[in-house]
Structure 1
Amino acid sequence: VHKHRDGQWRLRIVLRPGLRLSWAFDLRKDAQEHEGTLRAIRQAKRHDLMDFIADNRDKLGVLHEKIREIGVARLRVADLLPPPEGITIGELADEFLSYIERTTAKSRYQSSFSPSTVSKYRRNLNRFLEWLPLKRATLAHEINESTLRAFHEYLVAQGSASRRISPIGADRAVTPIQTLFTWASDAGRRSKGAVDGLRPLRFTKSKNPYGDVKSLTTEELDAIRPHCSAEVWAIVTTTAELGLRISETLFLRVSDVDLEAGFVSVRPHQDRRLKSASSVRDLPVSKTLKPVLKAAVAAAGTREHLWSDEWRAKGPSESADAWRAGYHRLGTQWENACKKAGVKGTLHSLRHTFGARLADAGVPPRDIASMLGHSSVSTTERYWRTRFDRDRKLAVLRILEQSEGAPTVPPLRAKKGGRSTMPTQPEKRGAPRTAQRKAS
């Protein structure tokens, strides 16, 4: 800082060789305060802020005030930029819903959105917009992770009295909002480009009350069986013996069952597509399942599907999402049977039961992934990890049972200086050091 002329003080800074900036101030005190700001930036090695000053020398006052409010360590360059053009969450949601309705729309998994997914997203987004204080007029930039958490808590609290929404169900209601913000911040997917200032929102999902992998034992299945009808138990047995997803089980066709070869084919259906390309697979039929499938094929007669239409359709037509009505009817019967038997589990627990049995039998994770139709082995490793941890604990228990008492700890040998070391093996005289290492 130096005096330029009467009544004017000048602040100069050399950012890099060949780049010198200067500012004029009426008061020496103001010039010295801004000089302290620049020295703090240089001392903190905030090169991003230095580059910002080089490109926007007229923003020195804004930078100075922001550092006084926030601090040089927490300040971001985005805080110095003018606020982005306001876009309401209602406008953004309408644009997003019109996008996912197109056949060319792709999710982050590079798959198109099914009609059932579109209707679910529309329903949950409208519920979220109605919950906001300003509803559709709320600015999208004002929504953050805290907003999602508050909405999640609202669903769980209100659902206990009206719709009985569990924490897991509230997670599914929050997912469309996360997808909306991920799409809005992706310049490649949004036709108008990414919205400035928007970023994907992170949300920690609730813990599964049944644990990471909930599998049912033989005793639990035997307790549930008396409370299920004949066809429901046939569906349950087929799901548990083949490790199918419940949607794959409900859409099995008679032509998919080949009892002579002993295999069941899982193929995409015109009304229900599979989850991924790895879901297409052929599964062997066990001795327990063979009579169940034989009776189901005989009961189907000339019908295309293996099970009756009540488990898939809602009314005369079978739309892409009509199978959910039958799925909910099946889930209600299964839930009532589990309550009467005193067992905790879901329909998806039957698929976990199949994976857990394979892991207990020592089947490698890659083979389990092929049977379950997982596209990644990392998804299957949770079955193997559960079994591996259990085996390690059993092995430790056997070691403790075989030992008569507490394990004997070798005594420590005193060393000069007060330290102690573990006793070493006596050196073999006449043997070279290499031979001693090999012997040890």
Structure 2
Amino acid sequence: MNKYLDKFKSFFEQSFDGDSLNGLARSHQFVRRKSVLDGKRFLELLLFSERDTKLQSLEDIAFDFSEYYGKHISKQALQERFNDSAVEYISAVLQQQLSKKANTVFPSENAYRFDKIMIKDSTRFKLPWQFREDFKGHGGHGIDSQISIQFEYDLIGGGVADLNITPANRNDQKDSKETLDRIEQNCLYIRDLGYVSQEYIDRIHESKSYYVNRLNTKWTVLDAAKKPLDFVDIEKQMSKSRITCVEIDVLIEKGKKLLPSRLVLEKVREETYKERIRKAERAARSKGYSLSDDYRAKTRLTMIITNIPKKWANTEQVRKAYSLRWQIELIFKTWKSQMRLNRVKPVRIQRFKCQIIAKMIWIMINRRFLAAMEIPDYNGKKPIKLCEWKFFKVVMRLSQKLRMVIFYGENLELWLGNLFEIARKKCQSETKKKKNNNLEILNIFLA
């Protein structure tokens, strides 16, 4: 463990050095001469004050400052510090954290088939209507203001490829098109359907990389003879033969291009089908059209496409690979339950931005710890998979001690050793009967 502790120590010295933080603050005109609240102290207050910002007042922040620094700051003075320069400063600190890739701190010693397994999705939540100019909602249901957090990370190394806070009206499809240049060679990309465009599939092919995604029902899909697939007939044949899952080699039409892909079709439960049809029929009635037989047949199926070679993964393994995507949903659930990310009240917009960005900094720091403890072959021990929700719950309890480590020079090795010990005993993922956890899925077909 010592080699990882040494790298953590180096990481913290670089990331939370007072001169470095205040240097960033000066570059954004945040630091004032003779101010009791410099950049480092401002960051500390945001990172370690009350998690539930809906309950937090300026008086609470001022009291926290007085308790730790023995100096008084008025609510008015504190309010004035939440300005555009403060937002730029906190944003720069977040970018500083994101620039320090996990694999440069924790060298990966794996033998996985792919260099990275990139999982991406977004989470949204409603904001007070007063924020609508900066965070416009996506429309409908009376939502004037809403925020979107785009997140993409590497399941193998833990590194973060994208973390972007935007208004909710910048949808996933737009994000996908604007980030095509970030697709790397020999990586596996697993994304929600909202990000999956033909341009995205084409770019992955051109980059000699791989994908596992759901099929867009509006795409033209051809069989090996270049004839459109008849999903009505396929679904009938599956029902007649009582087959629950089949795989077909297909061609996805993109302009004049035909992109080869594997299509995995799995029948959904009857309850799932009825729920899908109920929602689709309600939407169709409101727009004055009826559902086609083709659409109804597709609704009975989960349709997954991939370009992973068959010799690397069979049909069942492709299904399991796509299930890895749900890990990011658990991450978002953890952020909201543990960090109370979606608990917001009307405040000065710059204060809200500083608080939400600071929470993301806190999350990124502790995800780095999480990635370290899941390193394969750690000290010769069998690799483990930690439950992120359990892990963050533990780190929350130890957060004030982490505060003393980062900002007051207390023993980092001691804190980390304690965290490693608790996490490995209390935070391991539970494997459900007849189901594999994420680490087991990786070892089954990716190694």
Output the TM-score relative to the length of structure 1.
Answer: 0.20
* Structure with max Cα Rg: 1
Higher relative contact order (CA 8 A, sep 6+): 2
Output the TM-score relative to the length of structure 2.
Answer: 0.20
